[in-house]
Amino acid sequence: AFGTLMTGQLVMIGTTSTSPVYLHDHGHQVGTIGLAVAMHLGGMYVASPLSGWLADRFGRGAMIAVGAIVLLLSLGLAGFAPGSDSALIMTALFVNGVGWNLAFVAGSAHAQRTEIYKCLDASGRPSYTNDKRETVGRKCELVTTQINVAWDLLSGKRAAG
């Protein structure tokens, strides 16, 4: 589940972050670039209710696989789209967003059933008390430490490096 979330995020970010530069380098105006990013964001979130229903209906694993296939299709579409064809690139970005959503919603739902989530209390904060078993306790300690370090870095309480 976590591999799915990380891989989907990597593919989505890689495609999304390079597309505006690609469009700009091929002479497209800022309005066109903004519309392309908006199409991608729309694809990311408009599919959420459908993605959740499909994951419940056909299974999380199946929808993770479908999401991966859709992401691969979007990469192929974006990779072979000529730089002059902004409509095709926008379509690829929209499909990329939908693929990310399918994989991310199903992966998140699947991850909620894993032992890592036993490390979090009902509010989603790290907790050592949810499970006393030694193996899960070690995982909780690792996850809690990572969450706390990330929070400290983001809030400026700790310097990177």
Cα dist. 56→3, 72, 109, 133 in Å? Answer: 20, 23, 9, 30
Residue 56, phi then psi, degrees to nearest 5: -70, -40
Residue 130: per-residue pLDDT = 47
* Tokens found for residue 108: 């998140």
The length of the chain in residues reads 161
Residue 71: is it exposed, middle or buried by C-beta count within 10 angstroms (0-12/13-18/19+)?
buried
Q: What is d(CA 151, CA 147) in angstroms, rounded to the nearest whole number?
A: 6
Residue 144, both tokens: 């809690």
Task: Answer for the pair 109, 3: CB distance below 8 angstroms, yes or no.
Answer: no
- Cα 121 from Cα 27, distance rounded (Å): 50
Residues 6+ apart with CB under 8 A from 108: 1, 5
**What integer is the mean pLDDT of 124-139?**
53
pTM over the 0.75 mark: no
Give per-residue pLDDT as tens, 79-113: 888 888 889 989 999 999 999 899 888 888 777 66
Rounded-to-integer distance, Cα 107 and Cα 104, Å: 5
